[in-house]
Every structure is written in C-alpha cells, then in structure tokens.
Amino acid sequence: MHDFHSEAAIHRTKEENNIIALIKNTTARKNYDNISRTKSYQEYYKRNPEIKWSFLASMVSRNAGYCMTDLKGTWFQKVLNKKMIKALFLTYEDANWLIFSDAYPQLMLYEISKTLQRPMFHLLKEFHVSSFMIKEWFFFWNTKKEERLMTSLIINEQNLIQKPIIEKSIFKKKVFHSPLFLFQDLFHFSTVVFPTIEGRLFGFSVHNFRSLDSRIKLGRNLSWLLFHPDYYSRFFAFSERNVHTGSRYDYEKYSDIDCKRISPFLRTAFPVISHQLDVKERNWFHGQSVKKWYKPLAKPKKTDFTYWLRQKQNEMHAFALLKEYLFSKGKRSKD
C-alpha cells in the first residue's frame, strides 16, 4: 500500500515539521480533561475573537462538565447504578475528547497562519482533519466570513462524533437505549444553558440527541443565542468571572433561591481517562452535500430557561425519590 504520509513527510520543510510537533504536543497536553479543554477554548477565543466557535465550544464544554458531575451528585446517585454512571461519563468524555483532538489543531494552525501571514491549512491532513474543513479554512482565510466558519465547525464536530460515539454499539446499547436516557430525552433534561451573573439561565433543549440534524440545529441555535447583541456581554462576563470547576454550583450560587452544592468538582469526581478512539474514522466527509445544514433557521422564541429548568429539576428529584421509595419497598417485601 502506498504511504502518502511518509512521502509527504520527506517533502516537508523543517518549519512545517516543527509546527506539526508543536501542535501535537500542545493538543495532547490541553486535552487532559473537561476542565483543561474548557479553559483552552476560552483563552483561544480571547486571543482570536474572530473564531467565534471557540467561545461556543468553551460554553458547551462547561455544560458537558455539569452533566458529568451531575452523575456523581446527590440525585443521579439515587437513580443510576455504577455501571450506568461510568457509561454515561465515558460518552460525554469520549465525545468531548474527540472533538478537541480534531478542532484544536485547526485552531492552532489558524493562529500560526496569522503569525506567518500565510495560510498553512495544507498541514491539516497531518491531523486527519476532514477535507470539508480544510476547504472551509481556506475559504475563511480569503473571505473572513465568521458566521460561515462557525457553522462549518458545528457541522464538522457533530459529523465527527456520529459514528464513533453515537452509533458505536456499546454506547447505543448502554446509554442511548437506557430508560434514563429516554427519560431525559422525553423531559428534555438534555439542555445546554448559558448562565449569567444575574442568576438567569438561557439556552435550548435537544430533542432526539441521536439525530445528527437535531444536534447541528441545536449548535446553530446556541451560536445565534451566544452572540446575540442582547446577551453576549452577559455570557462573556459570566465566563470571565467563573473559573470552570465542572460543578453546576458555578452558576447556581447566583440563583435567587438558597442553593446548596449538590454536584461535586469534576476533578474530585472522576479520574483522567486515556482514550483509544481510532483516528481513521475522522474524515467523515466523502463529497456528500452539506447545503441543508447552512440553510437559515427560524429564530427560536423561548430562550430564558431559568424557571423551566427549576421545574424540570424538581421533576427529576421527584422521579429519583419515587425510584428510591419503590426500591426500598421492593426490598422490604422480599425480606
């Protein structure tokens, strides 16, 4: 078999080899866990505000952290067994690790291209980035269309996780067909929120998380909300003031009701994971049409989820208590 990579390596300049080594080392270091990813996206955005996706990624990454620590919080512990907690945690962790390992080399190469004042996106092949994104980066370099690039990165990340995470048999069986996941989907607990320091929560719910189209639509709606002129400065102020710990207490402390911490810090709740996801599956793009994902979306009407989420949380707590009660009743009748 012809090895294009080793052939390309022979023709690379010393500068290109140094760039590749730097990107590989930096990405591996910053892809340590959810906390380091969130911080890396945020810091990158502050250096390169034209790459809006990076701020979106940092805010969505915060939500992934909240979902992970919820699993070790008071209420989910009543509902889930240890196996299920592990499977759900790994779903979040693998998806976020995979997205970062694909996206961060792209972000770094753009930053390096800016410094060198010439596009270096031909090197994206070295990181198994889809040919779709390589084309989009060259297009952005020439047109500076920020919204287009943000949408392209959303399309890319969701296609990237579709096969190895969403359709992978172990996750399908253990996670996406589990009663809790279907229960979450049913009650729209799968919600991404952007908090403010005034204690308000804005965001959207995802219906049918397994659907690629649903997740891309969610990403695009979230990007519209995050950069909305009425809200952007409030979301950014929150992100600057609050170091991400993974705990929902990061934003619950601003709530107008007296809130106790019920979800732990991420780094005390879960160990660091080493990942074995196949890089060959990354180039999801094989010339198929992507036009439908760029079509204008209807503007969502409801964005303030503060009270709705509180209500949903109460439903979740009632469900957990009911499950606990039925379990102890069943145990007593056996005794």
Condensed to tens digits (0 to 9), the pLDDT of residues 282-319 reads 789 999 999 999 999 999 888 887 766 776 666 666 66
Least confident stretch, 133-137, 184-188, 238-242, 325-329: 184-188
pLDDT for 225-248, tens place per residue? Answer: 999 999 999 999 999 999 999 999
Indicate the residue type of 302. Answer: K
- Closest to 256 (Cα-Cα) out of 191, 304, 321, 198: 198
Which is more confidently placed, 168 or 119? 119
Q: What is the pLDDT of residues 102-116, one digit of tens each?
A: 999 999 999 999 999
Q: In 3D, which of 122, 149, 152, 147 has the Cα closest to residue 134?
A: 122
In this structure, of 15-19, 163-167, 172-176, 235-239, the range with the lowest mean pLDDT score is: 172-176
Given a cut of 50, whether residue 49 has pLDDT beyond it is yes
Six token digits for residue 85: 């907690």
Residues 6+ apart with CB under 8 A from 326: none
> Using an 8 Å Cβ cutoff, are 239 and 59 in contact?
yes
* Mean pLDDT computed over every residue of the chain: 86
* pLDDT-above-70 percentage for the chain: 79
Is residue 120 within 8 Å of 183, Cβ to Cβ? no
pLDDT on residue 11: 80
CA 30 to chain centre: 15
> How does strand 201-205 pair with strand 191-195?
antiparallel
In this prediction, residue 274 carries a pLDDT of 84
* Those residues with Cβ within 8 angstroms of residue 155's Cβ, 6 or more apart along the chain or in another chain: 132, 216, 290, 293
Q: What is the pTM of this model?
A: 0.88
Residues 6+ apart with CB under 8 A from 201: 193, 194, 195, 251, 304, 305, 306, 309
pLDDT digits (tens, 9 = 90+) for 291-300: 999 999 999 8
How is residue 26 written in tokens? 């930096």
Residue 202, H or E segment: strand 201-205
Among 70, 90, 142, smallest CA distance to 271 is for 90
Reduced to 3 states (helix: H, G, I; strand: E, B; else coil), residue 201 is strand
- Is the pLDDT reported for residue 187 higher than 50? no
Over 50: is that where the pLDDT of 188 sits?
no
**Block residue for tokens 């996780």:** 161
79: confidence class by pLDDT, cuts 50, 70, 90: confident
Range 4-16 average pLDDT: 74
Predicted confidence band at 1 (pLDDT cuts at 50, 70, 90)?
very low
Are 58 and 41 in contact, with CB atoms under 8 Å apart? yes
Over residues 63-87, mean pLDDT: 83
Cα diameter, the chain: 75
**C-alpha torsion angle, residues 48, 146, 107, 9 (rounded to 10):** -130
**pLDDT higher than 80, residue 64:** yes
Q: Cβ of 23: how many Cβ atoms within 10 Å?
A: 22
Residues paired with 201 in a beta bridge:
195
| CA nearest neighbour of 37 among 47, 23, 48, 26 | 26
Cα radius of gyration (the chain): 21
Q: Residue 271: pLDDT above 90?
A: no
More confident residue, 123 or 91: 123
Q: Which two tokens stand for residue 213?
A: 């189209």
CA distance 184 to 198: 27
At 256 the pLDDT is 72
Q: Counting every residue, how long is the chain? A: 335
Give dist(CA 263, CA 314) in Å, integer. Answer: 15
**Average pLDDT rounded to a whole number, residues 12-26:** 96
